[in-house]
Amino acid sequence: MKSENSSASIARPKTVKADRALGTAVTFWFFVAVIGQWIFAYYVTFFYGSAAVHGDFEKWNEVLPHGYIPGETMGNLAVALHIVLAIIIMVGGPLQFIPQIRTYARTFHRWNGRIYIFTALLIGVDGLYMIWTRGNIGGLVGQVSVSINAFLIMFFAIMSWRTAVARDFDKHRQWALRLFLASNGVWFFRIGLMFWLFVNGGPVGFDPETFRGPFLVFLDFGQFLVPLAILELYLRVQDRSSTSGKIAMTTFLFFLTIITGIGIFAATMGMWLPRI
């Protein structure tokens, strides 16, 4: 009996340390990711906003094929709305996951959450309209992947709302995390692409002229499926795994943080900073 109690007393501190390490790894990734998302949000605001202010809407086409088509008012408005909604998602979304805001600014958390969910629903509908009326540089594969992402965003937004209303906050947190990752698919695509180009020293697995190839097919779907799969793994490890499982997940998350940081750096230096 004493031996069992002794083993349990030794195991508990190890478990606590493993939980803390896992929490630190998640916080570290989130911090790096938010910096990257806000850099991207600043770039989107500056590039598209300055072009709009100067009436040079055709400049949008430099980075967004068919972003502006003279005479197509509805399509152009859809693109403009999508840009504004994306900025709201990238700036306001991360604020929902900061514990201090949830604790000391509950009213802001609730209203920002409502805006976030409503914005996610709008961006899903708007994204579907854009992808099937303006097309996609990735062709049919890109259209299908974006459509799936849009439906997931809307589904996650609805589930986040329903669980919040039901005051099932554990489930609400999980659905909100899924929404956060799915709604940032465009950002994941860019940092994933730039990480790939950085480590390979150039395009591998796709043709840079046609922007088609097996790697881009993977990235079209991986931009939201890979982060969601990692989240599901994390949620299961957090609640059910042993100490060794949590340590393994912690190591994996630190590795992912390095990849994320490299992708952000490469995208900032290669895509965003030159156009700011």
Could you give the percent of the chain with pLDDT greater than 70? 95
Residue 23, domain member (yes or no): no
Q: Which residues contact 175 (CB under 8 A, 6 or more apart)?
A: 156, 159, 160, 163
Distance CA 276, CA 40 (A): 11
Residue 8, domain member (yes or no): no
Residue 32, domain member (yes or no): no
Residue 10, domain member (yes or no): no
Residue 253, domain member (yes or no): yes
CB atoms within 10 A of CB 272: 21
Q: Model pTM?
A: 0.90
Q: Which residues contact 122 (CB under 8 A, 6 or more apart)?
A: 81, 85
Residue 58 has pLDDT above 50, yes or no: yes
Overall domain count for the chain: 1
User: Tens of pLDDT along 220-269?
Assistant: 999 999 999 999 999 999 887 788 899 999 999 999 999 999 999 999 99
Residue 48, domain member (yes or no): yes
Residue 214, domain member (yes or no): yes
Q: What pLDDT does residue 195 have?
A: 97
Residue 29, domain member (yes or no): no
User: Tens of pLDDT along 130-145?
Assistant: 888 887 777 788 889 9
Domain that holds residue 247: 37-275
Q: Where would I find the H helices in 54-166?
A: 73-92, 99-104, 106-133, 139-165
User: Tens of pLDDT along 115-124?
Assistant: 999 999 999 9
User: Tens of pLDDT along 187-228?
Assistant: 999 999 999 999 999 999 998 888 889 999 999 999 999 999
